[in-house]
Amino acid sequence: MFSLKQNSWFIRKVVIWRAVASIAWSVLLLPVTTAVFVLLSRFSLFHPIQWISDCTSLLTASSTIFSLVVLCGVVLITGFFNLEFYTLVPSIPCSRMALLGTVLHPRQCVHSLVYCTMGMLVMWCASVTIGGRYSTLGTPCRQSESGEVVTCLNEYHLFLLLAGAFMGYSHSFLGVVQNMYYVSFQPIQQYKYPRFKGCLPMVVKCSVIQALYSARNFAALYFFFGYVPKTWISSTLNLQIDSSLQPLDSLTGLLDFSLLYHLSISGAFLYLTWYLTVLLFRIYVTEAYSFPVQSTFTEDAEQCLPKVLAEKNTLVMKFLALQDLALLSQHSLSRRLEVFNLSQPGGHPHNWNAISGECLCLLSELTQRLVAHQDAVASNGRVKSQSASSDTRSASSSSSVVSGTEDIAETPRLSVPLRTPGSVFKSSVGGANRVLTAPFTPDVDSPFSSPAIRRLVGQQDPHSPWSGTVQSPHIMRRGPKLWSASTESQSNGSPPGSPATVPSPPAASQKPSFLAQWLQNRREQLPEASSQALFADSQAHIWALQGLSHLVAASFSEDQFGVVQTTLPNILSCLVVLLEAVDRHFKLPHASSKPVRTLCSMGDSTYKTLRFALRAALKTAIYKITTTFGEHLNAVNISTEHRKRLQQFLEFKE
């Protein structure tokens, strides 16, 4: 994967250097955050002068310098992981099983392990910096009966180290759940420094809140299971346990204000180090890059906008090129003129043809994806069965709009098994549909859907009554009810609100195992996930729409050779077709339900609302063209239905 990336000049010349710059800045910021951490960790209200002098002497001590070197190493590794794991298209697990599969993926395991280690390292640095009772793992202590001095286990140090490992793991885990490595683009352009300054309070707040949550969870965890690592460490390292001190895995030991304070401060420091690296990386990677529209030298041709837009392999380059297209179409007259220009020998509008062609290709690809999804999912959230014979399929497609009563009449035949949206996207979907739905089912290739399990579930699927436990949209929509609703369906076989499912005779004799039931329930589709997955890369489409519409609008007065006129019918019909597909998609259940906004998390949840943004951008794009051209659109050669739709836009009736 990495070798593939290496092929692109853009990765080599731009992305790598941006990553390096972001890491360099993170390293440069380390002394600042460390100083703040030192100040806070040694804070004493009543001895301010001693506090300041302590801190200054500590900051210049050799142990702190060594800690800084270790922290630099941590930042470097974090930066490397950012570069390796970042993604512009989030992976959206369509079911809980898929999510589990992602978490247990070997790559993710390595990631978690590395982050655990890094967390321990940072916490070691923190405990050394705090000093006092936290500084070393072994402390001299006096045995109570014999009175001789032996080395005892310092539980405070161990506590902090384990907390670091825990926080490292939870960071890595939340990174998957919240799509931490998803890099989204801001709606506005800002210079890097103001953007960093604007984001800094949010990052500090997030790291503090996350540290408090983690400290609470870790304290609870340590309270119950703390004795396991403690006895293990003490036995392997041959350290005594000091019985005179209060053990930390007890209520009184944990309710130590100073300990909890230091734990949260160190945790916040740990998270801040990581979050700052992520933030800087995001800022650097999403910075706009200006591609030349055309070059006088042929060897630079592959770096020009028309070529770069057509690039398939380097996603980041394609995204930045589309962003650049959207920006130039709005802000830069001279570059627009280059787009509309004709090639010097020959007089062909190569630039415009390539750019508009690529944008239209992107948009029509999205249209096809949406149509395929709509074909797969019937309008009431169920699917046409691909395994059924052709006549029943037509029956089911005709009855797909009608509600439950006819379904009851149909289900006893059992030639058309009802399926949940979740099960549809899984292995039970056969034939061509599987290929089509593959892009928005990251679940299928997840390691957890191993052949054995797939067989297990697939076997039960057509016969078991649980294959018919259709989650009604009303139940699915309520997030917290998901689990309870599915357990209910386990117990009585027909959940409330779902069309009645009559168990067939073979199903009654063939009771599925508990594991299969459990898996089946977890494999149910998360609400709106498939819709989110469909529009996961829609930022590209939004830019394409913006760029295209602004270029077309600008061509009204700036296009000297009329190059845009030739493609205008294509563009208009493509936009209208996409609009119809999007409109139909929003009629599906869950498609128009708004996601719950997460407050203060470092993970970016922009992808959850991309479909709304795409719809708005599409309408704005069409309006941009219709308001600019006005009545002249009647002279454009497009089909009658499309003209009718455009007339709606001309009258501002959309």
Partner 1 sequence: MCSLGVFPAPVTAAQTLFERNNELLSALHPGEHSQACDLPSPQFTRDTLKGHSRPESSSRSVFLDQRDTLWMRSAGAWRDAGLYGLLDEITNSAEEVPRFLAVGSACVLALLRWASSFHGSLFPHLTLSSDEMVAEFSQMLDWSDSALRSFAWHPHTDKFAVALLDDSIKIYKSNSSPTPTLKHRCQRSVCALQWKPLCGSALAVACQSCLLIWHVDPASLSTRPSSGCAQVLSHPGHSPITSIAWSPTGSLLVSASPVDTSMMVWDVAAESAVPLQRVGGGGVTYLSWSPDGSRLLAATPSALFRVWETRMWTCERWPCLKGSCQSACWSPDGGCLLLSMQGERVIYALTFSDLTGGPKAASVVADLSETTFPGPDGDLTVGGEVCSLSWDPRGERLAVLLKGDSQADNHPSVIAVFKTRSSPVFELLPCGFVMGEAGAEPRFMQFHPHFQHGALLTVCWSDGRISHVPFYFSSAGLLGGDSPQQALASNTTNPSSNKLYTEQIS
- Span interacting with partner 1, options 27-35, 227-235, 511-519, 614-622, rule CB under 8 A: 614-622
Q: Per CB under 8 A, does 616 bind partner 1?
A: yes
Nearest distance in Å: CB 535, partner 1: 11
In angstroms, the CA 435 to CA 429 distance is: 9
Contact pick of 330, 353, 386, 399 for partner 1 (by CB under 8 A): 330
Contact pick of 13, 331, 413, 478 for partner 1 (by CB under 8 A): 331
Residue 511 per-residue DSSP state: P
Site for partner 1, residues 534 to 573, rule: CB under 8 A:
546, 550, 553, 556-557
Question: Measured from the CB atom, is 391 or 651 closer to partner 1?
Answer: 651
Question: Measured from the CB atom, is 377 or 540 closer to partner 1?
Answer: 540
Question: Measured from the CB atom, is 330 or 368 closer to partner 1?
Answer: 330
- Span interacting with partner 1, options 192-200, 215-223, 402-410, 636-644, rule CB under 8 A: 192-200
# residues contacting partner 1 (CB under 8 A): 41
Query: What residue type is assigned to position 190 of the chain?
Result: Q
In angstroms, the CA 611 to CA 533 distance is: 10
- Span interacting with partner 1, options 186-194, 269-277, 301-309, 564-572, rule CB under 8 A: 186-194
Residues facing 151 on adjacent strands: 140
Q: Annotate each residue in 117-156 with x if it binds partner 1 (CB under 8 A) or - if it does not, as one string.
A: ----------------------------------------
Q: Per CB under 8 A, does 187 bind partner 1?
A: yes
For residue 280, give Cα distances in angstroms to 156, 259, 269, 301, 648. Answer: 33, 31, 16, 31, 45
Question: Measured from the CB atom, is 125 or 625 closer to partner 1?
Answer: 625
Contact 72, 30 (CB under 8 A): yes
What order of strands is seen across the sheet that includes strand 240-241?
Answer: 138-142, 149-153, 240-241
Strands 149-153 and 138-142: antiparallel
Q: Per CB under 8 A, does 653 bind partner 1?
A: yes
Site for partner 1, residues 623 to 652, rule: CB under 8 A:
623-624, 627-632, 649, 651-652
Question: Measured from the CB atom, is 85 or 612 closer to partner 1?
Answer: 612
Question: Measured from the CB atom, is 490 or 601 closer to partner 1?
Answer: 601
Contact pick of 135, 136, 143, 190 for partner 1 (by CB under 8 A): 190
Question: Measured from the CB atom, is 115 or 185 closer to partner 1?
Answer: 185
Contact pick of 147, 194, 345, 451 for partner 1 (by CB under 8 A): 194
Question: Measured from the CB atom, is 427 or 539 closer to partner 1?
Answer: 539
In angstroms, the CA 619 to CA 89 distance is: 23
Contact 637, 569 (CB under 8 A): yes
Contact pick of 307, 584, 619, 643 for partner 1 (by CB under 8 A): 619
Q: Per CB under 8 A, does 593 bind partner 1?
A: no
Q: Per CB under 8 A, does 391 bind partner 1?
A: no
Question: Measured from the CB atom, is 239 or 552 closer to partner 1?
Answer: 552
Dihedral Cα 156, 161, 163, 169, nearest 10 deg: -170
Query: How is residue 509 written in tokens?
Result: 């004799």
Question: Measured from the CB atom, is 167 or 588 closer to partner 1?
Answer: 588
Contact 550, 332 (CB under 8 A): no
Q: Annotate each residue in 282-321 with x if it binds partner 1 (CB under 8 A) or - if it does not, as one string.
A: ----------------------------------------
* Residue that is written with structure tokens 């800094």 in the block: 200
Q: Per CB under 8 A, does 494 bind partner 1?
A: no
Burial class (CB in 10 A: 0-12, 13-18, 19+), 204: middle
Q: Per CB under 8 A, does 601 bind partner 1?
A: no
- Span interacting with partner 1, options 39-47, 55-63, 216-224, 622-630, rule CB under 8 A: 622-630
Q: Per CB under 8 A, does 334 bind partner 1?
A: no
Angle, nearest 10°, between helix axes 333-340 and 350-376?
90
Which H, E and C letters describe 525-575, residue by residue? ECCCHHHHHHCCCHHHHHHHHHHHHHHHHHHHHHCCCCHHHHHHHHHHHHH
Q: Per CB under 8 A, does 346 bind partner 1?
A: no
Residues facing 139 on adjacent strands: 152
- Span interacting with partner 1, options 161-169, 355-363, 511-519, 615-623, rule CB under 8 A: 615-623
Contact 552, 625 (CB under 8 A): yes
Contact pick of 541, 615, 642, 645 for partner 1 (by CB under 8 A): 615
- Residues in the chain, how many? 654
Nearest distance in Å: CB 189, partner 1: 5
Dihedral pair phi/psi, residue 54, rounded to 5°:
-55, -45
Sign, CA dihedral 433-434-440-443, equals positive
Nearest distance in Å: CB 121, partner 1: 34
In angstroms, the CA 393 to CA 431 distance is: 14
Q: Per CB under 8 A, does 620 bind partner 1?
A: yes
Contact pick of 594, 596, 637, 640 for partner 1 (by CB under 8 A): 594
Question: Measured from the CB atom, is 189 or 459 closer to partner 1?
Answer: 189
Angle, nearest 10°, between helix axes 106-130 and 62-85?
160
Question: With DSSP H G I counted as helix, E B as strand and the rest as coil, what are the percentages for the chain, rounded to 5?
Answer: 65, 5, 30
Question: Measured from the CB atom, is 5 or 550 closer to partner 1?
Answer: 550
Strands 240-241 and 149-153: parallel
Nearest distance in Å: CB 424, partner 1: 28
| Closest to 603 measured CA to CA, from 138, 174, 83 | 174
Q: Per CB under 8 A, does 186 bind partner 1?
A: yes
| Closest to 158 measured CA to CA, from 77, 212, 239, 72 | 239
Sign, CA dihedral 59-64-68-74, equals negative
Nearest distance in Å: CB 186, partner 1: 6
Q: Per CB under 8 A, does 609 bind partner 1?
A: yes
- Span interacting with partner 1, options 238-246, 275-283, 574-582, 605-613, rule CB under 8 A: 605-613
Nearest distance in Å: CB 478, partner 1: 17
Helix/strand/coil for 464: coil
Nearest distance in Å: CB 358, partner 1: 21
CB burial of 242-264 (b: ≥16 within 10 Å; e: otherwise) equals beebeebbeeebbeeeebeebbb
Q: Which residues bind partner 1 (CB under 8 A)?
A: 186-191, 194, 197-198, 330-331, 546, 550, 553, 556-557, 594, 597, 606, 609-610, 612-613, 615-617, 619-620, 623-624, 627-632, 649, 651-654
